[in-house]
Amino acid sequence: MKNLKILLVDDEEKFISALADRLRLRGFIVTTELDGEYAIEKIETESFDVMVVDLLMPRMGGIELLKRIKYSGIDTPVILLTGHGSSKEGIQGMKLGAYDYLMKPIAFEELLDKLYKASSAN
Amino acid sequence: MNPFLKIADSVWFINDDVEGNRRYVRLKRIIALSVVTVSLVPMIIMAGINFHQYNSSLRNEIIKPLHDLTNKAARSFDRFFKERSSAISFISAMYSFEELSNPKLFNKLFMVLKSKFREHVDMGLINENGVMVNYTGPYDLINKDYSRQNWFPKVVYKGVFISDVFMGYRNLPHVAIAVLHIKDDGKTWIIRSTMDTDIFDEIIYNMGIDQQADAFLINKKGILQTSSRLYGKVLSRCGINIPQTRTGTHVEELTDFAGRKLMVAYTHLINSDCTLVVIKSKSIVLKTWFVLKTDMLVVFFVGICAIIVIVMGLTEKLVKRLKVSDKKRLLAVKELEHNQKLSSVGRLATGVAHEINNPLAVINQNAGLIMDMIEYNKFDREIFKEKINVINFSVERAKKITHRLLGFAKRIEVKFEVLRINEIVTEVLIFLDKEALYKNIEISLSLSDELPLISSDRGQLEQVFLNILINAFDAIGNNGHIYISTSIADESMVRVSIEDNGNGISKENLPHIFEPFFTTSTAKGTGLGLSITYGIIKKLGGDIKVNSTLGKGTCFEVNLPYEKLGEKDEKFKNSFG
């Protein structure tokens, strides 16, 4: 399998850097952004196989980012991360076009599984 | 004051023990007094009316027989005098002066008279000059001149004269009857007869009065004309003043010269200047009434005592039950306050979950990374240390959140302590800063450094500010501004103002927002948040005001009392900060 390009968007820097390192160890090409505004700028210039986006972020949250991505016509699958402890926000995101969602703290193997599935679905 | 806020006061305001006990004592007094008054006033009025009616009817029942007896006896005396004077008038009319002057005939006529009326002692014929011209009897009274005696003109004037009782030559009480006769030719004479007064005692005896009673005749001067059980023998002074001017039979309560209270019946005789008096001791006459009165009074006072005892007992029971129900209410209010507090915490759950899940995610991924590095044989001591530090930091971060949350939820009992109001405000904001961040709500703080310390309850103040801030967040939704300022309101209050630029409250709803269970159709809560906020602030001795403009925002002003600290407290203040 080719090395997947992943965009991780989350305001929790220590989380996203550790996650990115783990993915990189497994051969993923990972880019990280700390909020939705930066992510929008990034996806306008670069394409990704899968995006992993946190729901709650300052300035622009995950839902708003998802809407913007879909509005721009970008069909990169988006996996949402939610720290709310409930699936309500995740399901809402899927209705808006997200590929799937995961609840924090995430199970890494599950994330890998969803990344592969999302990339192959695209 | 809005009446609903009064209700809110009564629902949420919790008295301290001393004031509470005073309130119960006051309440007990008011209830007992009201019930006793309501019960006793009609009872006293009814008893008074009954007393009066019994008094008058029973007195009439008792007095009437005495009245009738006296009246009947008086008529007997009148009849007696009438019969005697009629008999003498008859003798006078049947015979001429010359015939009457005949001693033999005169003696025979007297004998006939005496055979009918044995009390007659003698009889004499007096000519128009007042000289006794004929006499039959035990004394030698022939030629005795009566013209200068005071009764003579009276008989000439009235035709009949009945004297007062006097002691005769035999030293026995007598009464004299003198009858004037006027012939057609103008010649006049008088027949005078004296009688023993024993017959009076007989008439009185025949009245049938009981042994405790007394009956006697008195003349106009109050001299006894018959002997009296109470006042002595005939011709003694009567020991009681009998009114002389009234006609008819009367019964009165009089006091005699010896101070005895007596029921006195009296009537003036028609054919004599005497008055018949019947006396009974008041205590004996009214004995029945006194017994009845005593019984009535006993029943009345026993009734009053019973009412008072029952009312006191019931009031005691009622107030005790009220106390218990108030205690239950107090517990329910506390429970409600606590539940509302938990509900506030629940309202924060999203933010809190996020705040805990994020450090957990950090821990999870950093631990996973360490494991990966071991598996991939990438041992780097510095990276390991860095990742472990990140993990420890995240653990601390999660711990802080859970401790703060638990600390907030656990504070149930009211505990007054010296506090800095600014610290409370900033502490509450920690719960909300992430939500503010994600909702793009800017929170501006203008906290005065000059604020005095306040003595208040930390947990309850946190609840107050949290409730107001949650309302502000709900009113704003996304993208807004909250201004929080603290200042000294006046010489006794510090003020915390929380203003938002949310959708505001309508004029119609504004007066009701502190009412329990008031909620608008768009509001998310139970309708208790602001009501409890109001109750807590009142309980803490403060007040809360709200200004709002629909579409522009709302400003809550919370004023809390501060006490001027003494020297001792200054030391505390210094150690405090």
Chain B positions touching A85 (Cβ under 8 A) are 349, 353-354, 357
Partner residue facing A104 (CB), from B357, B437, B440: B357
Using left for φ > 0, alpha for ψ between -120 and 50, and beta otherwise, residue B507 falls in: alpha
Query: For residues B423 and B406, what is the distance between their CA atoms, to the nearest angstrom?
Result: 18
| Angle in degrees, 0-180, between the axes of helices B103-116 and B17-94, rounded to the nearest 10 | 150
Residue A2 has pLDDT above 70, yes or no: no
**pLDDT cut 70: percent of chain A above it:** 97
Residue A55 has pLDDT above 80, yes or no: yes
Query: For residues B73 and B246, what is the distance between their CA atoms, to the nearest angstrom?
Result: 18
Contact B376, A23 (CB under 8 A): no
Residues 397-456 of chain B whose Cβ lies under 8 A from any Cβ of chain A: 434, 437-438, 440
Can you tell me the ipTM of this complex? 0.94
CB contact under 8 A, A105 and B372: no
How much is the pLDDT for B173? 86
Query: For residues B535 and B300, what is the distance between their CA atoms, to the nearest angstrom?
Result: 50
At B92-129, the pLDDT tens digits run 888 989 999 999 999 999 999 999 888 899 999 999 89
How much is the pLDDT for B118? 87
Instruction: Tell whether B390 is within 8 A of chain A (Cβ).
Output: yes
Query: For residues B112 and B90, what is the distance between their CA atoms, to the nearest angstrom?
Result: 12
Cβ-in-10-Å burial (0-12, 13-18, 19+) of B420 comes to middle
Closest CA to B81 of B347, B226, B212, B270: B270
Residue B18: count of CB within 10 angstroms of its CB: 8
Closest CA to B136 of B99, B107, B174: B107
Residue B5 has pLDDT above 60, yes or no: no
Average pLDDT in the B17-37 region? 84
Query: For residues B340 and B526, what is the distance between their CA atoms, to the nearest angstrom?
Result: 9
How much is the pLDDT for B568? 43
Distance from B460 to chain A by nearest Cα, in Å? 27
Average pLDDT in the B379-403 region? 90
Structure tokens belonging to residue B467: 């409730």
Q: What is the β-pairing status of strands B214-218 and B132-136?
A: unpaired
CB contact under 8 A, B361 and A58: no
Average pLDDT in the B26-53 region? 88
How much is the pLDDT for B4? 46
Chain A positions touching B393 (Cβ under 8 A) are 14
How much is the pLDDT for B7? 47
Residue B542 has pLDDT above 80, yes or no: yes
A→B interface, C-beta within 8 Å: 12, 14-15, 18-19, 21-22, 25, 56-59, 61, 81, 83-86, 103-106, 108
What is the band of A1 on the pLDDT scale with cuts at 50, 70, 90? low
**pLDDT cut 90: percent of chain B above it:** 29
- When comparing pLDDT for A120 and B287, which is higher? A120
What is the band of B403 on the pLDDT scale with cuts at 50, 70, 90? confident
Q: Quick one: how far is CA B469 from the chain centroid?
A: 54
Contact A24, B374 (CB under 8 A): no
Chain A positions touching B438 (Cβ under 8 A) are 56-58, 61
Fill in the DSSP letter of residue B451: P
DSSP assignment string, B7-51: HHHHHH----HHHHHHHHHHHHHHHHHHHHHHHHHHHHHHHHHHH
At B366-378, the pLDDT tens digits run 999 999 999 998 8
Closest CA to B408 of B350, B505, B340: B340
Query: For residues B29 and B36, what is the distance between their CA atoms, to the nearest angstrom?
Result: 10
Residue A77 CB partners (closer than 8 Å, separation 6+): A49, A50, A51, A99, A118, A119, A121, A122
Q: What is the pTM of this model?
A: 0.53
- When comparing pLDDT for B528 and B569, which is higher? B528
CB contact under 8 A, A15 and B365: yes
Contact B277, B217 (CB under 8 A): yes
How much is the pLDDT for B17? 61
Q: What is the β-pairing status of strands B120-127 and B275-281?
A: unpaired
What is the band of B575 on the pLDDT scale with cuts at 50, 70, 90? very low
Closest CA to B448 of B413, B418, B486: B486
Residue B398 has pLDDT above 80, yes or no: yes
How much is the pLDDT for B525? 60
Which helix or strand (DSSP H or E) is residue B135 part of?
strand B132-136
How much is the pLDDT for B414? 66
Lowest average pLDDT, out of B242-251, B284-293, B434-443, goes to: B284-293
Residue B78 CB partners (closer than 8 Å, separation 6+): B269, B270, B271, B272
User: Which amino acid appears at position B48 of this protein?
Assistant: G
At B130-180, the pLDDT tens digits run 999 999 988 888 899 988 888 888 888 888 999 888 886 667 888 999 999
How much is the pLDDT for B372? 93
Q: Quick one: how far is CA B571 from the chain centroid?
A: 56
How much is the pLDDT for B445? 94
Contact A6, A31 (CB under 8 A): yes
Query: For residues B573 and B567, what is the distance between their CA atoms, to the nearest angstrom?
Result: 10
How much is the pLDDT for B22? 83
At B495-520, the pLDDT tens digits run 999 999 998 988 888 888 888 777 76
Lowest average pLDDT, out of B88-102, B181-195, B429-443, B447-461, goes to: B429-443
CB contact under 8 A, A59 and B364: no
Partner residue facing A105 (CB), from B361, B434, B437: B361
User: Which amino acid appears at position B38 of this protein?
Assistant: V
Residues 367-386 of chain B whose Cβ lies under 8 A from any Cβ of chain A: 368-369, 372-373, 376, 378
Residue B567 has pLDDT above 50, yes or no: no
Average pLDDT score, chain B: 84
Residue B337 CB partners (closer than 8 Å, separation 6+): B460, B463, B532, B535, B536
How much is the pLDDT for B200? 86
Average pLDDT in the B75-89 region? 90
Tell me which chain B residue has its CA closest to the CA of residue A63. B438
What is the band of B40 on the pLDDT scale with cuts at 50, 70, 90? confident
Structure tokens belonging to residue B271: 């054919």
Provide the β-strand partners of residue B254.
Answer: B262
Query: For residues B192 and B149, what is the distance between their CA atoms, to the nearest angstrom?
Result: 13
At B218-228, the pLDDT tens digits run 998 899 999 88
Contact A14, B386 (CB under 8 A): no
Residue A119 has pLDDT above 60, yes or no: yes
Structure tokens belonging to residue B225: 């004309």
Domains and CATH numbers, chain B: 95-200 (3.30.450.20), 411-576 (3.30.565.10)
- Which residue is associated with the tokens 């029942």? B61
Compute the C-alpha angle B221/B223/B224, nearest 5°.
145
- Reported as half-sphere exposure (CB side, CA atoms, 13 A), residue B230 has a value of 24
Chain B positions touching A58 (Cβ under 8 A) are 437-438, 440
CB contact under 8 A, A83 and B440: no
Residue B330 has pLDDT above 90, yes or no: no
Residue B193 has pLDDT above 70, yes or no: yes
How much is the pLDDT for B495? 95
Residue B10 has pLDDT above 60, yes or no: no
The pair phi, psi for residue B146, each rounded to 5°, is -105, 0
**pLDDT cut 70: percent of chain B above it:** 89
